[in-house]
Amino acid sequence: MWLQGTVLIVSLLVLAWSADRFVDGACGLARVLGVSPFLIGMVIVGFGTSAPEMLVSAVSAFEGSPDIALGNAYGSNITNVLLILGVAAIVNPIKVDFSVVKKELPFLAGTIILTFFLILDGLISRINAISMLILFIPIMVISSLGKKEEVEEEPGKKESLLKSIFLIIFGLALLVSSSRALVWAAKDIATALGISELIIGLTIIALGTSLPELAASVSAARKNEHGVAFGNVVGSNLFNTMCVVGIAGAITPINVDPKILTRDLPAVALVTLFLFIFGIRKKIDRVSGIFLVVLYIAYTILLGLKII
């Protein structure tokens, strides 16, 4: 099993590095277009840092491991709020624009409620999955409206268009290859240790595919790009809930583990409630950041010990 362990670690590192290149390209393209920091965080960086989740889930579905796909999606949502925002707030307290509470967060909450009702029968059918993907489009369009005029472009900050496109293509190619290696290694390790693929998806893979979000949000927090730091998590969670699950379900219908309804989706709903609280408070201070990280550690330990 040493080979699978080595492949798992290397593929996670390559996944994080290639996602970073993808995000660089996406942000460069966004600067050329001149869009707002929150929109960059939610749509551009959110999409870029969710690329690992989307590709890992797609590969998992193709290879007959849908539990990895669902665990990855919902585990990443939990990791994004508890660990990513927590660490970012510890590095530098994050200011939250209250307008997010009125516009973007209700969309996120609505998608979680919709997901719950769609899988009550224990199945994500292709029709349900495709519906999620189609519904995601107007959500992104509505979120994007009115954002562009918020930006004041700084002279000399425009990125080369060709360089940005190259980074996007190069990063995506590495994302695909490292995702395939990651899923192969994770499946073999889960089988050898007798751990369910859902738990592997919720923990190891969710943490690994969330490394780009961690890098992006911490970097944004250090640079006082509060809109990017918070928007990255909101956007990434929207992508995970609708696109990651939707892509996997569109590839193959998924029989949903009952634990997802009783444990994982309620956990996702709880961390989404935290986002509303931070939006109302208009900040995430260091004490809140420490609380989130401690909660993430406790959640992971409880999963690992099969207590929950």
Distance of CA 8 to the CA centre of its chain: 19
Domains of the chain by start residue, with CATH: 37-147+196-304 (1.20.1420.30)
pLDDT in tens, 160-195: 778 877 887 887 778 767 777 877 887 788 778 888
For residue 102, give Cα distances in angstroms to 31, 93, 266, 275, 279. 26, 22, 22, 12, 9
Query: 303, 279, 208, 212: which is closest to 38 by C-alpha?
Result: 279
Model confidence, pTM: 0.79
- The residue type found at 201 is G
pLDDT in tens, the chain (308 residues): 788 889 888 887 887 787 677 767 766 776 676 666 566 666 666 676 677 788 888 888 888 888 888 998 999 999 999 999 999 999 999 999 888 888 889 999 999 999 999 889 999 999 999 999 999 888 877 776 655 444 444 444 554 778 877 887 887 778 767 777 877 887 788 778 888 888 888 888 888 778 777 777 777 788 787 777 888 788 889 989 999 999 999 999 999 999 999 999 999 999 999 999 999 999 999 999 999 999 999 999 999 888 77
Dig out the tokens for 272 from the structure.
């989404």
Q: Which residue has the tokens 């970012």?
A: 88
Token output for 101:
């509470």
Looking at residue 34, the DSSP 8-state letter turns out to be T
Condensed to tens digits (0 to 9), the pLDDT of residues 64-114 reads 888 888 998 999 999 999 999 999 999 999 999 888 888 889 999 999 999
* Beta-carbon-side half-sphere exposure of residue 177 (alpha carbons within 13 Å): 10
